[in-house]
Each structure stands twice: as structure tokens, then as C-alpha cells.
């Protein structure tokens, strides 16, 4: 279906050019927060920074559907599963179990061919790893690999494919386990393990994850083609159009030329959609005719796109465990053990419209040149020193920008000095993608189009005679390159009518690491560096080092027969406390809107970028009456903060720097609040007669009305109204609800 969306206001990004609107020179000098000023400025003036719409088409002719027509898929997913297992009692005290399963879950196929794949200009499927490897190889040689990309429905893909990704036939799942019940005598081992009092268990198994309908059915439906997103970056008024084009791209509109809702009309400019599109559909390529064309003969640029890689496969999990269970007596048992999980081929999204930072000219890569500029201007301590660049020429910039005599570098001692001056905002904010886009859009740029989103250098509209112009805003490819692991030691004590107590207590000491595990329903969560997935490796979102919980049931043994008046009053009582405690979850120190630090595609997708720790940070605790003139100065009126001196803690972080840092800390580089809670239920059973009784219960959650602070935001930059330095560490909520009590009475007969 189609729907128009108008975005009014500038994105919260430290660059002066955001979502097509260039506000350079309009921010008052000395304004305390340029991001806030930019947002308010655009909102007050009604500047529409990015109109966008979604069109739907029908298969197989790709004709435009009437407004509001949904796309409905009828997909079939064949699935087969067989298994066999056997248990051997090799001895009276030793049992061995083994088994083998096989799972075959075929990719879904849609009966009308409503599945879209990413292809090259000849209709051949594009495999993400091959594409990125070719880009890297060319970049290291100082060249560019940027083939025209397209989208084709499954029946129009070369090779006659039936499925959007390759079937996986290797789903064999072996498993083995053993249990030993030693029967030692009275020797040392007998005293330690007992006779028939201990069981040692161990096992290993290999399993494969299962697909769900979001990733394997919905994603092939969302790629451009059946659904075509069209956006207008840099929307200007008709009087400021270039060659009839009102969408001038990132930075193409200024407050003087930008389209303003109301003042310039009630319908923002938006590229129309063609009545039909060819197969493969090559956004931004020449060959378009009729309605919906851009700059005369070019197909419109695609917006943010999602697609499934042809090599996608289910994740593989190796499970390992070893436990020792010891019966202390007939009422108490103790178990200790190890649990391990090794995970490969986990779902990740890679945005292939990322900066090829390894591009090498004059023996220097772009990453090295950028690092040299950043460290000279900002340093590697907290904040940015904003030094004037007085360093040497950087070979990459000299060759990429035509040397010191070029139009871009003229008047400066070197091209590096020119970049440092003209792109100071992008450098200081770590906006690598914006920096690359700004440089590669200049007419002196010697490398040509380097990204799928790149324009022809020196142009805004698509120039006549060019085979392709800007193709897409971002392209997040879903594939199976992620990995992770979990290792934990645990202990469990179980009670069975021990002095009136039944229940168990568990303690776990574990660690979960990986590249950012997400559910299959997640989309647009891309890795920070598509050429180095390990840059995402670190604590998982659910990584809890210490976890303790206990649940007990206590029946008061006195007056259990309930004889007499005292027996009816004092007998039949029961208590059941439930106590949980855990260490803090990973806490992200967010930077630069979670994008761009390593050249990811603008802020089209989200990821997890952590600031770099440069000093000691105390653990979070509840601090009252905190006052600050910098970080942590706003957010609540009580002065409740996770840190006694939020400004000092804030100053112990810096932004990540391409060419200097290699890992961005996973889910978080510090820890949130530790947590604990106690719930309790109280019961009373009263016997009225042999057949009639009355039951009373009271359920209390958060018995002590304990205030457990929610983890605050810790943001190095202002990314939104709730994520900004002024709210650093500010506690604005609680994890558990205040105490609640529920009472009930039941009569049974």
C-alpha cells in the first residue's frame, strides 16, 4: 500500500547536514547545544527534511497497485524432522545415551513469486560476502568496485531460482551423554561421594535453530520491487529545483531553499512512481521513461532497503554440560556444574552501503588519514580539543582531492588542512559517513562513485549520459555470520521437607559474549563494520555475571491437626518467599546516534556504538541531591543520579575513532544497577469440618517496597530528547513496581 510520511525537523546529529538539510552558518555562535537549535529551527519553520512514500506493486508484471492496496504473500515452507536415540546401561552404575537427529527446513516459496532478491545488472544474485570482499580488494589497490545493484522477483532472477536463499541440507544433530552413579566404599572417595549418593553427568549436543516467518517470509517481501519506498532528501521549493528536480540529496537544501510545509504548499515534493518497473529494477539507473523518472531518464533512488542474503542458513549451537549431584541426606541435595553454549552462523544484518575505509592512495588508507586528522584536532582524551590542524599533508587526501592546487584544496597548505577546515563539524563529531559523502560529492574527487548511494562527483541532479546515479539510501543484508558463546558455573541446593521447608536456591556465575544476538523479528540492526564483524564482539544484551534466586515454601508444623480453638487459629499457616538478585546488565555509553563511527550508512539503521573508556568509572548507586553544571544537570528535580559526580564520570569517555579503535564494546562497556527483590505469599487453611474448609491467602510483591532504580541513559552526544549529556546518569524511573498486596478468601466443600 502507499502512505506519505513527512518528517519535519532535523535529525539529532552533530553534523551540520542532516537528512538533506544543510544548516551550516545558521547556528548562532556560542549556542550551548547546536543539535537542539537545529531541531527547533527546522520545526518552527516547518522545514520538511525528508518526505517519503511507499508504493506497492503486483507480480509478475510489477504494475503499480491502486492506493492502499496491501501486498499479501501465500508462502509455503516444507519442513522435515527425524530422530533416533538409544540408551545403554553399560553397567548398573553407568548409563550412556546417544542419538542423531536430522532437520530439513526448506526455504519458503511464494506461489505467485512475491519474493525479491538483490541482483546485479544482469539479474545474478548478489552474495554479500563476495560483494564486500570485492570492494575491499579494489579499495586496497586504490580502485573502486561499485557495480550497479538491482532488485528482481524470484522468477526473474537468473538461473531459474525457486527459493530466496539456498536450502541447507546439513542439519544433522548428534548428541551424546553419560551418567555415572559411583559406589565407593568407606575410603576417601566413599566419604566424599558416598555410596549411591552421587551422580556425575556430562553431555554434548549439536542443534540448529529454526526459522520463523519474519526473517524468511517477510524480509524477501520488503526489498524494493513489490514494495518501493521513495524518499526526497534535500527537498527544495519548485523555484530552487535543479533541472526540474526538487530532491537535491544530502545537504542539498538550506533554510533559504528548503520546502516549508504551509508556506510553500501542503504537499511536499516527492518523486512519483512509474506505472511499471523493469526486471531487474535498477534504482538510480538510466533507461527510465514516462512518469516517475528523475532528471529525465533515471529511475528513482530507493530508500532504506532490507534483503535476505542467498547464503542465509540456520544458526548452529553446540551445547556442553557437566554436573555433579550429591545427596547430603534424604532431605537435602546439592548440585554443581558447568553449562556452555558455542553459537555460530547467527543472524546479523550488514549494510553494504558502508564507507570502504581501507581505500588506499599514496600508501595510506582513508582510515589512517582520518585518524591522523581526528587525533590532531581532537586528541584521544574526553571531548574534543578543537585544535587548528597544523600537521603534515596526508597522502590519501592529497590524491583523492586532486592535490594542493585543486579547487577544493587551493588556499590551504595541503588537502588535509582543507579537509580539516571545511569538514571540522563532521570530524569532531565522528561522522565518518557524512565526511566521506561530502568529500566524494565534490567535483575534484578522483575516485568517482564509491558507494551505492554516491552521486556523480560535482553534481546534484543525475547528469545526462551517466549510466547510473545515486541508487539507494541503505541496504541491510541479513545473513548468518554472527557468533557468540555462553559459559556458566552454577550450584543448586534442593530441600524436601527439611524442618518444614521445601524449595531450592540457585546461584549462577556466567558470561555471555557475542556479536549482538537479536531475534529474527529484528530488522535494520546492522553491525558497526561489515568488513570486521568482530568489532561488535562483546557482552550480549542479556549478559548477567551473577544471578541468585531462591523459592521456599514453609508450612508451620505446630498445630497441624488444628485441634481446639488454638489449633484452628495457629495451625495451617504457610509462607512462600521468592527472592531474586542479580548483577547489573551491560550499559551502553551511546555516541553519535549509534551510527557512522566506522563509516556505516548515515543513520538509516541502528547499531550499538559505545564510547571508549579513558578513565576509571565507579559502579552505579543511588545518589541524592546531586547538582551539576554539565553532564547530569537535568532530568529530575530531586537530584537523584547514578553517580555522585556525573560530570567527572562523563569526562572519562571519548568517542570511537576509525583507524584507532577496533572494537566498540558489544552491548555495553559499563554495568547498570544490580537488582534485588522479594515477593511473598501467606496462606492459611482452616478446617471447619471434615468436608468444609476456608482458605485465606495474601500475595505481596516487592514486600519491602524497595526502590530499585532503572538504569539511566548515558549518552555522550545528544541523540534525542531523552538521550543527551544533560541527563547523564539521571534516574527517571524504577525497575519494580511499588509494593502491591492482594488478599483472597476461598471456601471449599
Q: Is residue 610 assigned to a domain?
A: yes
**Which of 580, 469, 599, 438 minimizes the C-alpha distance to 527?**
599
Q: Please say whether the dihedral angle defined by the alpha carbons of residues 533, 538, 541 and 543, taken in this order, is positive or negative.
A: positive
Lowest mean pLDDT among 130-139, 187-196, 229-238, 589-598: 187-196
Same structural domain for residues 490 and 420? no
Under the banding of pLDDT at 50, 70 and 90, the label for residue 273 is confident
Q: Please tell me the distance from the alpha carbon of residue 599 to that of residue 529, in angstroms, as a whole number.
A: 7
The answer on 532 and 417 residing in a single domain is: no
Give a yes or no: residue 241 inside a domain: no
334 belongs to a structural domain: no
- Whether residues 425 and 487 share a domain: the answer is no
User: What is the average pLDDT across 540-564?
Assistant: 88
Residue 542 lies in a domain: yes
Closest listed residue to residue 3, CA positions, set 92, 70, 68: 68
Task: Return the half-sphere exposure (C-beta side, CA atoms, 13 A cut-off) of residue 446.
Answer: 17
Answer whether residue 427 shows pLDDT above 70: yes
Range of the domain at 737: 482-748
pLDDT at 576 over 50: yes
Q: What is the pLDDT of residues 9-55, one digit of tens each?
A: 544 333 334 455 666 666 666 554 555 676 777 888 888 877 877 78
CB 684 within 8 A of CB 698: no
Task: Report residue 320's pLDDT band, with 50, 70 and 90 as the boundaries.
Answer: very high
| Residue 693: per-residue pLDDT | 85
pLDDT of residue 311: 96
378/495 same-domain check: no
pLDDT for res 214 = 81
Exposure string for 207-217, b = 16+ CB within 10 A, e = fewer: bbbebeeebbb
Structural domain ending residue among the three candidates 397, 422, 446: 446
Q: Which residues of 108-147 are buried (b: 16+ CB within 10 A; e: fewer)?
A: bbbeebbbbbbbbeeeebbbbeebbeebbebbeebebbbe
Q: Report residue 518's pLDDT band, with 50, 70 and 90 as the boundaries.
A: confident
User: Rounded to whole angstroms, what are the CA distances from 32 to 29, 35, 602, 637?
Assistant: 9, 9, 25, 21
Q: Which residues contact 635 (CB under 8 A, 6 or more apart)?
A: 726, 727, 730, 732
pLDDT, one tens digit per residue, over 283-314 is 999 888 877 787 778 888 887 888 999 999 99
Q: Do residues 642 and 716 share a domain?
A: yes
3-state SS, residue 722: coil
Tell me if 144 is assigned to some domain: no
Q: Residue 432 pLDDT > 90, yes or no?
A: yes
Q: Are residues 421 and 561 in the same domain?
A: no
Q: Where are the alpha helices (DSSP H) in 4-127?
A: 34-45
Considering the domain architecture, whether residues 435 and 505 belong to the same structural domain is answered as no
Indicate whether 661 belongs to any domain.
Answer: yes
**How many of the other CB atoms lie within 10 Å of CB of 636?**
13
H-only helix segments in 185-286: 188-193, 213, 219-222
- The reported pLDDT for the residue numbered 251 is 73
Look at the chain and count its residues.
749
The yes-or-no verdict on residue 490 having pLDDT over 90 is yes
| Residue 383 CB burial class (10 angstroms; 0-12, 13-18, ≥19) | middle
- Same domain, yes or no, for 680 and 538? yes
**Mean of pLDDT over the chain:** 88
Residue 15 is predicted with a pLDDT of: 37
By mean pLDDT, which of 72-76, 387-391, 560-564 is the weakest? 560-564
194 compared with 643, residue with greater pLDDT: 643
pLDDT, tens only, 600-641: 886 767 788 899 999 999 999 999 989 888 888 887 777 899
Question: Has residue 52 been placed in a domain?
Answer: no
DSSP letter at 299 equals P
**How far apart, in whole angstroms, are the C-alpha atoms of residue 718 and residue 535?**
24
pLDDT of 406 reads 96
pTM here is: 0.85
pLDDT of residue 63: 86
Identify whether residues 500 and 599 lie together within a single domain: yes
Contact residues for 648 (Cβ-Cβ < 8 A; gap 6+): none
DSSP at 156: G
C-alpha cell at 598: 566506522
Of 418, 446, 474, the domain-final residue: 446
Q: Worst-scoring range by mean pLDDT, 218-222, 549-553, 554-558?
A: 554-558
- In this model, does residue 420 exceed pLDDT 70? yes
Band of residue 195 on the pLDDT scale cut at 50, 70, 90 = confident
137: Cβ–Cβ under 8 A, 6 or more apart, which residues?
145
| Residue 371: φ, ψ to 5° | -60, -40
The answer to which of 38-47, 112-121, 531-540, 653-662 has the lowest mean pLDDT is 38-47
Identify whether residues 598 and 672 lie together within a single domain: yes
**Least confident stretch, 77-91, 94-108, 593-607:** 593-607
Whether 179 is covered by a domain: the verdict is: no
- Assign 674 a pLDDT band (cuts: 50, 70, 90): very high
69-90 pLDDT, tens per residue?
A: 888 889 999 999 999 999 999 9
Same domain, yes or no: 512 and 432:
no
Does 434 share its domain with 511? no
pLDDT above 80: residue 645: yes
Q: Cell numbers of 248, please? A: 537535491
Rounded Cα distance between 18 and 7, Å, is 12
- CB-CB contact of 685 with 557 (8 Å): no
Per-residue model confidence (pLDDT) at position 721: 65
Which phi and psi angles does 587 have, rounded to 5°? -120, 120
Q: Where are the alpha helices (DSSP H) in 205-317?
A: 213, 219-222
Mean pLDDT to the nearest integer, 464-479: 89
- Quote the cell numbers at residue 359: 581505500
Total tally of structural domains belonging to the chain? 2
Backbone Cα Rg of the chain: 32
Q: Examine the fold and report which residue of 425, 446, 467 is the final residue of a domain before the chain moves on.
A: 446
Amino acid at each position: 500500500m502507499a502512505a506519505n510520511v513527512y518528517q519535519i525537523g532535523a535529525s539529532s546529529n552533530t553534523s551540520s547536514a542532516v537528512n538533506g538539510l544543510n544548516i551550516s552558518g545558521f547556528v548562532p555562535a556560542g549556542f550551548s547545544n547546536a543539535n537542539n537549535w537545529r531541531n527547533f529551527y527546522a520545526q518552527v519553520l516547518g522545514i520538511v527534511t525528508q518526505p517519503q512514500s511507499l508504493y506497492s506493486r503486483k507480480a509478475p508484471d510489477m504494475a503499480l497497485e491502486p492506493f492502499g492496496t496491501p501486498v499479501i504473500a501465500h508462502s509455503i515452507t516444507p519442513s522435515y524432522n527425524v530422530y533416533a536415540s538409544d540408551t545403554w546401561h553399560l553397567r548398573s552404575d553407568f548409563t550412556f545415551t546417544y542419538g542423531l537427529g536430522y532437520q530439513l527446513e526448506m526455504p519458503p516459496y511464494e506461489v505467485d513469486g512475491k519474493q525479491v532478491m538483490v541482483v546485479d545488472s544482469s539479474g545474478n544474485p548478489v552474495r554479500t560476502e563476495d560483494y564486500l570482499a570485492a570492494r575491499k580488494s579494489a579499495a586496497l589497490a586504490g580502485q573502486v568496485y561499485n557495480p550497479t545493484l538491482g532488485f528482481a522477483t524470484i522468477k526473474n532472477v537468473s538461473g531459474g531460482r525457486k527459493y530466496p536463499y539456498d536450502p541447507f541440507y546439513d542439519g544433522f544433530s548428534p548428541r551424546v551423554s553419560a551418567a555415572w552413579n559411583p559406589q565407593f566404599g568407606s575410603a576417601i572417595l566413599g566419604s566424599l561421594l558416598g555410596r549411591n549418593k552421587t551422580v556425575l553427568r556430562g553431555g554434548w549436543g549439536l542443534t540448529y535453530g529454526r526459522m520463523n516467518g519474519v526473517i524468511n517470509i517477510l524480509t524477501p517481501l520488503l526489498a524494493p520491487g513489490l514494495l518501493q519506498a521513495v524518499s526526497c532528501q534535500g527537498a527544495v521549493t519548485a523555484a530552487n529545483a535543479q533541472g526540474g528536480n526538487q530532491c537535491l540529496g544530502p545537504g542539498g537544501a538550506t533554510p533559504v531553499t528548503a520546502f516549508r510545509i504551509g508556506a510553500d504548499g501542503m504537499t511536499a515534493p516527492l518523486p512519483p512512481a512509474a506505472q511499471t518497473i523493469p526486471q531487474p529494477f535498477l534504482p538510480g539507473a538510466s533507461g527510465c521513461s514516462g512518469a516517475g523518472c528523475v532528471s529525465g531518464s533515471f529511475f528513482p533512488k530507493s530508500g532504506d532497503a532490507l534483503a535476505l542474503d542467498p547464503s542465509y542458513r540456520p544458526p548452529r549451537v553446540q551445547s556442553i554440560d557437566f554436573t555433579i549431584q550429591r545427596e547430603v541426606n534424604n532431605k537435602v541435595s546439592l548440585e554443581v556444574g558447568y553449562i556452555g553454549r558455542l553459537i555460530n552462523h547467527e543472524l546479523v544484518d550488514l549494510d553494504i552501503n558502508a564507507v570502504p575505509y581501507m581505500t588506499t592512495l599514496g600508501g595510506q588508507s582513508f582510515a589512517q588519514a582520518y585518524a591522523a586528522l581526528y587525533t590532531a584536532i581532537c586528541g584521544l582524551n574526553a571531548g574534543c580539543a578543537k585544535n587548528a590542524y597544523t600537521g603534515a599533508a596526508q597522502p590519501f587526501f592529497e590524491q583523492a582531492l586532486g592535490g594542493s592546487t585543486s579547487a577544493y584544496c587551493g588556499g590551504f597548505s595541503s588537502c588535509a588542512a582543507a579537509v580539516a577546515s571545511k569538514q571540522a563539524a563532521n570530524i569532531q563529531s565522528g561522522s565518518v559517513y557524512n565526511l566521506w559523502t561530502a568529500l566524494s560529492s565534490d567535483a575534484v574527487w578522483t575516485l568517482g562513485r564509491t558507494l551505492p548511494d554516491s552521486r556523480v562527483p560535482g553534481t546534484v541532479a543525475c547528469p545526462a549520459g551517466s549510466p547510473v546515479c545515486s541508487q539507494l539510501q541503505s541496504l541491510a543484508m541479513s545473513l548468518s555470520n554472527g557468533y557468540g558463546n555462553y559459559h556458566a558455573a552454577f550450584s543448586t541446593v534442593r530441600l524436601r521437607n527439611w524442618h518444614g521447608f521445601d524449595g531450592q536456591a540457585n546461584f549462577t556465575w556466567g558470561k555471555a559474549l557475542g556479536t549482538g544476538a537479536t531475534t529474527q523479528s529484528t530488522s535494520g540492526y546492522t553491525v558497526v563494520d561489515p568488513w570486521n564483524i568482530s568489532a561488535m564482539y562483546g557482552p550480549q544484551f542479556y549478559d548477567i555475571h551473577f544471578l541468585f534466586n531462591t523459592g521456599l515454601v514453609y508450612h508451620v508444623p505446630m498445630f497441624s491437626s488444628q485441634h481446639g480453638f488454638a489449633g484452628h487459629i495457629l495451625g495451617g499457616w504457610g509462607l512462600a518467599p521468592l527472592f531474586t538478585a542479580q548483577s547489573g546488565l551491560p550499559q551502553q555509553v551511546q555516541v553519535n546516534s549509534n551510527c557512522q563511527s566506522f563509516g556505516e550508512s548515515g543513520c538509516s539503521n541502528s547499531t550499538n556504538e559505545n564510547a571508549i573508556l579513558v578513565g576509571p568509572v565507579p559502579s552505579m548507586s543511588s545518589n541524592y541531591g546531586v547538582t551539576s553544571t554539565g553532564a547530569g544537570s537535568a532530568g529530575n528535580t530531586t537530584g537523584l543520579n547514578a553517580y555522585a559526580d556525573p560530570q567527572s564520570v562523563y569526562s572519562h569517555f571519548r568517542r570511537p575513532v576509525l583507524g584507532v579503535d577496533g572494537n566498540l564494546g558489544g552491548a555495553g562497556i559499563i554495568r547498570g544497577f544490580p537488582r534485588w527483590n522479594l515477593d511473598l505469599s501467606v496462606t492459611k487453611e482452616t478446617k471447619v469440618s471434615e468436608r468444609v474448609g476456608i482458605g485465606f491467602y495474601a500475595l505481596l510483591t516487592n514486600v519491602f517496597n524497595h526502590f530499585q532504580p532503572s538504569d539511566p541513559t548515558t549518552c555522550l552526544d545528544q541523540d534525542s530528547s531523552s538521550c543527551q549529556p544533560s541527563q547523564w546518569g539521571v534516574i527517571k524511573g524504577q525497575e519494580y513496581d511499588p509494593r502491591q498486596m492482594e488478599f483472597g478468601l476461598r471456601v471449599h466443600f
